[in-house]
Amino acid sequence: MIMRNFDYVGLKNQKWDSETVAYIAAIHEAKGRQELYLKQKPQELDKLVEIARIQSTETSNEIEGIRTTNTRLKQLLSDKTTPRTRDEEEIAGYRDALNVIHENYEYIPVTANYILQLHKILYSHSGKSIGGKFKNVQNYINSVDDDGKECTIFTPLAPYETPIAVDAICEQFNRAIAEGEVDPLILIPVFIHDFLCIHPFSDGNGRMSRLLTTLLLYRCGYFVGRYISLKNKNAKSKDLYYDALSAAQVGWHEGKDDPSAFVKYILGTIISAYRDFEDRMELVSEKLPALEMVRKAVRSQIGKITKTQVLALCPSLSASSVEVALKKLVKSGELNKRGVGRSTFYVRTD
In this structure, the answer to whether residues 98 and 202 fall within a common structural domain is: yes
- Rounded to whole angstroms, how far apart are CA atoms 328 and 270? 35
Residue 3 lies in a domain: no
In this structure, the answer to whether residues 296 and 255 fall within a common structural domain is: no
Structural domain boundaries, residue 335: 288-348
**Which pLDDT does position 63 carry in this prediction?**
66
Name the E strands within 303-344.
335-338
- Rounded to whole angstroms, how far apart are CA atoms 20 and 258? 13
Q: Which residues, including other chains, have CB under 8 Å from residue 186's CB and lie 6 or more apart?
A: 11, 16, 24, 263
In this structure, the answer to whether residues 37 and 103 fall within a common structural domain is: yes
Q: What percent of the chain has pLDDT over 70?
A: 96
Q: Domain ends where: 283, 317, 333?
A: 283
Residue 76 lies in a domain: yes
In this structure, the answer to whether residues 186 and 330 fall within a common structural domain is: no
Q: Which residues, including other chains, have CB under 8 Å from residue 116's CB and lie 6 or more apart?
A: 132, 133, 134
Q: Domain ends where: 261, 283, 305?
A: 283
Residue 1 pLDDT grade (very low, low, confident, very high; cuts 50, 70, 90): very low
* Contact criterion met (CB below 8 Å) for 320 and 280: no
Q: Domain ends where: 265, 283, 301?
A: 283
* Tally of domains in the chain: 2
Residue 194 lies in a domain: yes
In this structure, the answer to whether residues 137 and 65 fall within a common structural domain is: yes
Residue 22 lies in a domain: yes
In this structure, the answer to whether residues 223 and 332 fall within a common structural domain is: no
CA 114 vs. chain centroid, Å, equals 19
- Global confidence as pTM: 0.83
pLDDT tens-digit series, residues 216-225:
999 999 999 9
Torsion of CA 26, 29, 35, 38, to 10 degrees: -50
Residue 4 lies in a domain: no
pLDDT tens-digit series, residues 68-113:
777 787 777 777 778 888 888 888 898 999 999 999 999 999 999 9
> Hey, which residues does 336 pair with through a beta bridge?
347
Surface-to-core class of residue 205, CB atoms within 10 Å of its CB (0-12 exposed, 13-18 middle, 19+ buried): buried
pLDDT tens-digit series, residues 262-314:
999 999 999 999 998 888 787 766 678 889 989 988 998 889 999 988 887 88
